[in-house]
Amino acid sequence: GNSVTQMEGPVTLSEEAFLTINCTYTATGYPSLFWYVQYPGEGLQLLLKATKADDKGSNKGFEATYRKETTSFHLEKGSVQVSDSAVYFCALKPNAGKSTFGDGTTLTVKP
C-alpha cells in the first residue's frame, strides 16, 4: 500500500534560520504530493502541492520539489518566522482514491 515517511520532530529553529523537513513516499503510479500545515487547535490547511515529477510547489516562502528518482518531497524555507511554528504534514494522493498522510513534524521557531 501507499505510505509517507516524514522526518521525526520536534524541530526547533531560531528566527531566520533555514528549514528542511524531509518527506519520502512509497506509492504505485504517479501520485500527487502535498504539504499541509496545522496550527494549534485548527484543522489542516493546504500549504503547497505538486502533481507530477520535477514540479515545484511553492507558497508563503515554502517550497518543495517532486523528486521521482528519490521518491521525495522535502519542504524548505529560506528564513523561518515565529509565525511558522506549527505541525507540518506530508501527504500523497493517487489519481483515484484517498490521501495518505505522514505523522507530522512539529516545528517551533524561537525569536
Partner 1 sequence: EAGVVQSPRYKIIEKKQPVAFWCNPISGHNTLYWYRQNLGQGPELLIRYENEEAVDDSQLPKDRFSAERLKGVDSTLKIQPAELGDSAVYLCASSLEGQGNYGYTFGSGTRLTVV
- What does the binding site for partner 1 look like in residue numbers (CB under 8 A)? 4, 32, 34, 36, 41-46, 49, 51, 89, 91, 93, 95, 97-99, 101-104
Q: CB of residue 68 vs partner 1: minimum separation in angstroms?
A: 16
Q: Are 107 and 87 in contact (CB under 8 A)?
A: yes
Radius of gyration of the chain (CA): 13
User: Cell numbers 484517498 correspond to what residue?
Assistant: 98
What is the nearest approach in angstroms of partner 1 to the Cβ of residue 43? 4
In this complex, which beta carbon is closest to partner 1, that of residue 89 or of residue 109? Answer: 89
Q: Give 44 or 80: the residue with its C-beta nearer to partner 1.
A: 44
- The residue (of 29 and 111) whose beta carbon lies closer to partner 1 is 29
Q: Which candidate, 108, 101, 109, 95, places its Cα nearest to that of 28?
A: 95
Write phi, then psi, for 102 (nearest 5 degrees): -75, 180
